[in-house]
Structure 1
Amino acid sequence: NLALINPKAEDFFKTDNSKGLKEIIEFLGSDIKDVFRKEFVMAKDFILEISAISMEKDGVDLGNLVVLHDVSREKIIEKLKTEFVSLAAHQLRTPLSAIKWSLRMILDGDLGKINKDQKEIMEKTYQSNERMIALVNDLLSVARIEEGKYAINAISIDVAEICRLAIDSIADGFKKKGIRLKFIKPSKSIMVFCDKEKIGLVLQNMLDNALKYTTKLGKVSLFIEETLVDVTFNIKDTGIGIAKNEQNRVFSKFFRTNEAVLSEPVGSGLGLYMAKNIIDSHNGKIGFKSQPGKGTTFYFTLKKDT
């Protein structure tokens, strides 16, 4: 029960009564055992970050330490940044598409014959434009995720079909680089209830990373593990690995490891951030195991469709 609230607390909660603090007490619950850290929306433009930990000394319960941090301004700025990125990406999409098809017409000879040197320059320009389009699409996807507009359209589908579609979209890249891609197909049909397109994007992203960061003659394998209720997709490579001091930031927005930048300068650092959000929206789990210089296994888990 709340016994007393002083004027400073009333100012902080923007109220002249104890309603706001009572709501937080109910939100926290009565049994805080571990470190607790969550956001709590008091009002439309009033958001608190609540941190709490149970305190004890010599086996004696001393109560709970609760810290309230007003993050309203940070959240408003974050929202404005997301809206700006979304607007800028939308504005870039149309001219980039126009450049793409103009270059394609030149390369295909629709506007007249071009010589070898001209074609080589046009090809490089076309590929650079493609990378820009991919970045814009990633930025738009991130903006939709952060605005809560990245809808999930779940269907029942065989895991083997999801894997096959992802492999078909990237198989040529493995052949060109001389990396062996092995898919260990399940011996029986395993159904999951998920968004086929978005889970396909997660798989494509992980396979693409394995391709980028595995050297020639390396190996990449995709295999499935199952329990009574879960299905785990595993993508194992023999690539550069991830340094231990960088592993806790792998799923952060725009983050790329130092080794990744040296190995493959081109990249947005958005792929795994989006992958984590997609898996989280399916109430699944995502993670990885890695040894620098030996390789990495990325995995994600989905519930079976029973």
Structure 2
Amino acid sequence: MNRFLISILLFWVSLGVEGQGQTQVLPLESVQWDEETANIPSATTGIEGANIFLKHAEQIADPQEKLEYLIEQCWKNRNSQPELALQLGLKAIELADSLRDHYNHVKAHSFTGVAYRLLGDYNNAIELFFRGLHLSRKYNIPQQEGYAYNNIANLYIYIEFYTQALENLQPAMEIAREIGDKEMLSYTFLTMGRVLMHLDRIDEAIESINHALEIRKETGNVPGQAVCYKYLGDIYFNRNDFPLASNNYTLALAKVSKLQDKHLYANILLKQSQIYCQAENFFSAAPLAKQSLDIGREVNSRLLIHDALRVLSKVDIQQGRYVSATQRLNEMNLYADTLFNQQLSEKVLSMEFQLERQKQEAAIDILKKDKEIQDLKFSRQRYLNIGLIVFVLFLTVSGSILLILMRKLNEKNKLLLSQKEELKQTNTAKDRMFMVIGHDLRGPVWNLRALIELLKEEQDTLPNPDMQENFSALSRAVQSVSDLLENLLYWARSQDGKITFKPGPTDIKHLTTKSIEPYKAWAEVKNISIDLQTDMKATMVNADENMIQTVIRNLLSNAIKFSFTKGVITISLTEQENHCRFSIKDMGMGIGQDQIDQILSNETIPSTKGTGNEIGSGIGLGLCRDFVIRHGSEIHVESSPGKGTHFFFDLPLIKRP
């Protein structure tokens, strides 16, 4: 009976996690195919890494050699360290401009734009791509003009503007054929295949990718052939044609460089393991998924790690290794939260980019119309000197033109207002979807909690101690998901302004005791004691019970998360004049002044791993800050790294008559 209940529980957990992380077809190419991948140590990332490369560049006496070095390193590091590539690319643009090296000037624009795109800064990326397109036309550099069109099309794929992507691929195709650049032509065919795949024009997508494959066979571009086979495999995989998909993945594995393109190699292995799972050949699926997981950890790819863990957890469940399956599902939960936040941030950035582009286009149109009006005024002044007849004629013509221009301007304004309303409706639909998702997940999570409690009541009868540890791990995982959902729902409602502040008499001591109860099991696992102290006789405060319970829950969760084993968390309620001071103090990791400033301001609070590698969403403390402010108080923080953290705030007491 217990074994049956455990199987049901693992099945429900796998369903809940599986819905959060969907397998994605990642773009594997950028401006040009490059057979080298820079492996820079992690200590040389960001500004520090850029300073090292820039310092080395300064030691190169020849400015032209220095420029070529900067461009080369920018390209090599664009995938592994885009922040570093961005700094090097910006320096290369500046140096190429001073040297009047037009070819490398355009090339630096393309490479730096790719770095911006990989960082999610689509506005700066598209600006550099269009500037590079303009410069390549101005100085007649057709090869870079073709790649500029490809870059713009690739960016439009990221923001789901597939029609615009196709419009930019057409001139790229014409340029590649005109100058006889087969590598550009093959890359353009491949990018077009990706666009057609997104538009569900599958047969055309297959044809386009096969064109790219034939060209790369002709030119001997072996790594490029691997990419083509990979995309063909993805198409057949999505059509559930697993034999054809497996055949193409096998061909891709034979071509891919296992050392120079580890991400592509691991992605193909993962797809093959998923095909074996579909065929219930779990013996063959497991080693491929394990190899993909190892590479994913090596290259720090969250999506690879998440999807590989999902396959391995399915294998474990099928083979009866429930403890291993639970451990993999718990780890997958951590990556699922991060991937969800990342996808949400990318979607918001995409929407912001679209709005910004619309605003820029409208502003450009208005400026053009203003310039035309100014030109007309100048012409009218000139014709005034010719004579009354010409003046009258000119007034008639100019008046008509102005009327037409104003009518067009009004039409543009109406269009802009319509687009603004559509964006507002889109945001409303997004928020509504957010709330529906949260509410739909809440029911299964509460059912899981109830099922876990039922199993824990029988855990003393189980002969296997590992099963008891399994219950504790599942209880913590479900509690973490429950906390995230509650914070997510509160955050979504607060963004819509739908949270009503309803203060009333609240027993703060009773509320604190009730809020501690769900976290005792987690604290016991980490061997942390929770001590509630108060000498107050009257503990009634004027507060919104739901808001304050959310504040206490998040502060206690953070205290446990960042406390070390055998630590002590002290919660105290003390009277301060006419207020009750709620205080929670731990002896954990502590935080620096920069993080304290972020908590006290309206800035986004980044998520930080706990002492047990727990990962949060970064939403909780923001809610705490906002809810305490709604009560006319402020949240205070006292902390320093390694010396624990102390949070406290005041609530008005209700004095008994």
**Do structure 1's residue 255 and structure 2's residue 598 form an aligned pair?**
no
> Deviation per CA, 1:261-282, whole angstroms, max 9, x where unpaired?
5653332222212222221222
Question: CA separation of 1:201/1:209 partners in 2, compared to 1, >3 Å: closer, same or farther?
Answer: same
Q: 3-state SS of the aligned residue for 1:285? A: coil
Alignment counterpart, residue 628 of structure 2, candidates 262, 270, 279 = 279
**Do structure 1's residue 206 and structure 2's residue 206 form an aligned pair?**
no
Aligned pairs (5 A) from 1:71-150: 81-93=430-442, 100=448, 128=477, 131-150=480-499
Question: CA separation of 1:199/1:262 partners in 2, compared to 1, >3 Å: closer, same or farther?
Answer: same
Question: CA separation of 1:221/1:120 partners in 2, compared to 1, >3 Å: closer, same or farther?
Answer: closer
How much does 1:180 deviate? 2.8
> Deviation per CA, 1:92-136, whole angstroms, max 9, x where unpaired?
4456667x389769969xxxxx99699689856776555444423
> Deviation per CA, 1:21-48, whole angstroms, max 9, x where unpaired?
xxxxxxxxxxxxxxxxxxxxxxxxx9xx
* Number of residue pairs matched by the alignment: 236
Q: 3-state SS of the aligned residue for 2:617? A: coil
**Do structure 1's residue 293 and structure 2's residue 650 form an aligned pair?**
no
Distance in 2 between the 1:168 and 1:105 partners? 14
Question: CA separation of 1:97/1:185 partners in 2, compared to 1, >3 Å: closer, same or farther?
Answer: closer
Q: 3-state SS of the aligned residue for 2:597? A: helix
Q: 3-state SS of the aligned residue for 2:564? A: coil
Q: 3-state SS of the aligned residue for 2:635? A: strand
Partner of 1:193: 542
Distance in 2 between the 1:119 and 1:190 partners? 42
How much does 1:79 deviate? 5.6
Aligned pairs (5 A) from 1:142-221: 142-221=491-570
Relative contact order, CA 8 A, sep 6+: which one is greater? 1
Question: CA separation of 1:243/1:96 partners in 2, compared to 1, >3 Å: closer, same or farther?
Answer: same
Question: CA separation of 1:126/1:80 partners in 2, compared to 1, >3 Å: closer, same or farther?
Answer: same
Partner of 2:591: 242
Distance in 2 between the 1:238 and 1:289 partners? 12
> Deviation per CA, 1:162-203, whole angstroms, max 9, x where unpaired?
332223343343333222322221242233111223312211
Equivalent AA in structure 1 for residue 527 of structure 2: G
How much does 1:150 deviate? 2.0
Contact in 2 for aligned 1:284/1:303 (Cα 8 Å):
no
Equivalent AA in structure 1 for residue 513 of structure 2: R
Distance in 2 between the 1:101 and 1:215 partners? 26
How much does 1:77 deviate? 7.7
> Deviation per CA, 1:188-244, whole angstroms, max 9, x where unpaired?
223311122331221122122111111012222112333323222111111100122
Question: CA separation of 1:203/1:183 partners in 2, compared to 1, >3 Å: closer, same or farther?
Answer: same
Equivalent AA in structure 2 for residue 204 of structure 1: R
Question: Please, which moves more after superposition, 278-287 or 81-90?
Answer: 81-90
Distance in 1 between the 2:565 and 2:470 partners? 27
Equivalent AA in structure 1 for residue 605 of structure 2: F
Distance in 2 between the 1:102 and 1:166 partners? 18
Gapped regions of structure 2 (runs ≥ 5): 1-365, 367-416, 457-461
Distance in 1 between the 2:449 and 2:539 partners? 41
Contact in 1 for aligned 2:607/2:615 (Cα 8 Å):
no
Contact in 1 for aligned 2:540/2:654 (Cα 8 Å):
yes
Distance in 2 between the 1:107 and 1:181 partners? 25
Equivalent AA in structure 2 for residue 278 of structure 1: F
Question: CA separation of 1:122/1:228 partners in 2, compared to 1, >3 Å: closer, same or farther?
Answer: closer
Question: CA separation of 1:76/1:272 partners in 2, compared to 1, >3 Å: closer, same or farther?
Answer: farther
Aligned pairs (5 A) from 1:27-42: none
Contact in 1 for aligned 2:598/2:604 (Cα 8 Å):
no
Question: CA separation of 1:136/1:176 partners in 2, compared to 1, >3 Å: closer, same or farther?
Answer: closer
**Rg larger in structure:** 2
Question: CA separation of 1:73/1:242 partners in 2, compared to 1, >3 Å: closer, same or farther?
Answer: farther
Contact in 1 for aligned 2:528/2:568 (Cα 8 Å):
yes
The structure in which a higher percent of residues are strand is 1
Contact in 1 for aligned 2:635/2:649 (Cα 8 Å):
yes
Aligned pairs (5 A) from 1:14-33: none
Equivalent AA in structure 2 for residue 201 of structure 1: T
Q: Could you tell me the TM-score, scaled by structure 1's length?
A: 0.60
Equivalent AA in structure 2 for residue 211 of structure 1: I
Distance in 1 between the 2:443 and 2:586 partners? 37
Distance in 2 between the 1:75 and 1:273 partners? 24
Question: CA separation of 1:216/1:118 partners in 2, compared to 1, >3 Å: closer, same or farther?
Answer: closer
Question: Please, which moves more after superposition, 129-138 or 227-236?
Answer: 129-138
Contact in 1 for aligned 2:528/2:567 (Cα 8 Å):
yes
> Deviation per CA, 1:42-101, whole angstroms, max 9, x where unpaired?
xxxx9xxxxxxxxxxxxxxxxxxxxxxxxx999888666534422332344456667x38
RMSD: 4.1
Equivalent AA in structure 2 for residue 255 of structure 1: I
Distance in 2 between the 1:187 and 1:95 partners? 40
How much does 1:292 deviate? 0.6
Alignment counterpart, residue 580 of structure 2, candidates 231, 242, 264 = 231
Equivalent AA in structure 2 for residue 265 of structure 1: E
Partner of 1:267: 616
Partner of 2:143: none
Question: CA separation of 1:162/1:118 partners in 2, compared to 1, >3 Å: closer, same or farther?
Answer: closer
Equivalent AA in structure 2 for residue 232 of structure 1: R
Distance in 1 between the 2:645 and 2:595 partners? 13
Question: CA separation of 1:162/1:92 partners in 2, compared to 1, >3 Å: closer, same or farther?
Answer: closer
